[in-house]
Amino acid sequence: MSLKATVLGAGNFGTALASVLLANGHDVTLWCYEDGHAEEVEAAGRNPRYAKDADLTGIRATGSLEAAVTGAELVLFVSPSHATRSIAKSVAPVLGADAIVACASKGIESGGATMNEILEEELGDIQGRVGYLSGPSFAFEIVQRRPTAVVVASRSDDVASRIQEAFSTAFFRVYTTHDVVGVELGGAVKNIMAIASGISDGLEFGHNARAGLITRGLAEMTRLGVALGAEPLTFMGLAGMGDLVLTCCGDLSRNRTVGKRLASGMTLDEVTESLGGQVAEGVKTTASTHKLAKKLGLDMPIVEVVHSILYEGADPRECVVQLMGRPLKRERD
């Protein structure tokens, strides 16, 4: 069934997901934040700034949130995590009472709130009509229509099924789960581990080191998730191990790129400037996750050293020595 769908965010991932909805025959509006961007998209039938190969023929683009959301049956947030709250505040007055809300933003706000908590705080009682989309999904490969599998988490079976059906195509397969907390945390914290992996690769520590980081990173993600009520097995799935492996190993990962450039001697400001306006969510998520781990009294040593490199000017090579020299322990402790 065709839906009137709105995508909030015209970056690489938002553009890619808009192209999936278009491929499924939905009536799609793309909200663009930057001045003049919407006019460029409509004129070209493509996004000239991000995910340029995505076919957006027939899409409507607008710079007005009110125009984008009014009357929409499905509203998808694909905004940077730090901007999600302000966008949700603006969306709340015009969001339809029956509209399904989906969120593909990945991150943890500086105060420790997940995207789920932010949307529930700003949009009111939406638990029964919201789902969270996550998993190993580089925008470039979605646009190329290469096989991709993701998961949508919702506390409502009906909402999970409706989002699953809205996005599922021959090249984009969507699974469902109830574990909103696990899916959200997996999608956010894996970006920190990708920065660590990029640092390791940039220092030419090799495949053994990367595999160790991925595995111990998964342990940290799971530890945080369980402390906040997630199901441990979620972290063995698409939003956990799947997305973790992709972002730690794939050359298209902006977070891994951040790590590699830090290892080369660039400062965080220089790395941020080199991204050309694109967002590496792991940078801000490192600060919020570090703060959250301290609050909960959790041992997250990889998060700790990435935080010290990003925000305290620590030397990456010395941080690896620090990790390797920690007191010996049982693997599952």
Are 73 and 17 contained in the same domain?
A: yes
8-state DSSP, 155: S
333 residues of the chain, pLDDT tens digit each: 799 999 999 999 999 999 999 999 999 999 999 999 999 999 999 999 999 999 999 999 999 999 999 999 999 999 999 999 999 999 999 999 999 999 999 999 999 999 999 999 999 888 889 999 999 999 999 999 999 999 999 999 999 999 999 999 999 999 999 999 999 999 999 999 999 999 999 999 999 999 999 999 999 999 999 999 999 999 999 999 999 999 999 999 999 999 999 999 999 999 999 998 888 999 999 999 999 999 999 999 999 999 999 999 999 999 998 999 999 999 988
User: Is the same domain home to 38 and 185?
Assistant: no
Helices (H), the chain: 12-23, 37-44, 65-69, 84-91, 115-123, 139-143, 157-167, 180-202, 207-227, 243-249, 254-263, 268-274, 281-296, 301-312, 316-324
The dihedral region occupied by 277, where left means phi > 0, alpha psi between -120 and 50, and beta the remainder, is left
137 and 264 share one domain = no
Burial class of 83 by CB neighbour count within 10 A (0 to 12, 13 to 18, 19+): middle
Residues 152 and 216 in one domain: no
Tell whether 329 is covered by a domain: no
Same domain flag for 272 and 129: no
Q: Do the domain assignments include residue 332?
A: no
- CATH code of the domain in which 59 resides: 3.40.50.720
| Tokens 């105060």, located at residue | 111
**287: containing domain:** 181-324
Q: Are residues 258 and 145 in the same domain?
A: no
Domain count, the chain: 2
What's the pTM value of the predicted model, to 2 decimals? Answer: 0.95
Q: Domain check: are 230 and 186 in the same one? A: yes
State how far the Cα of 219 lies from the Cα of 158, in Å rounded to an integer: 32
Q: Does residue 319 share a domain with residue 216?
A: yes
- Shared domain for 147 and 211, answered yes or no, is no
Residues annotated as catalytic (active site), given as ranges: 190
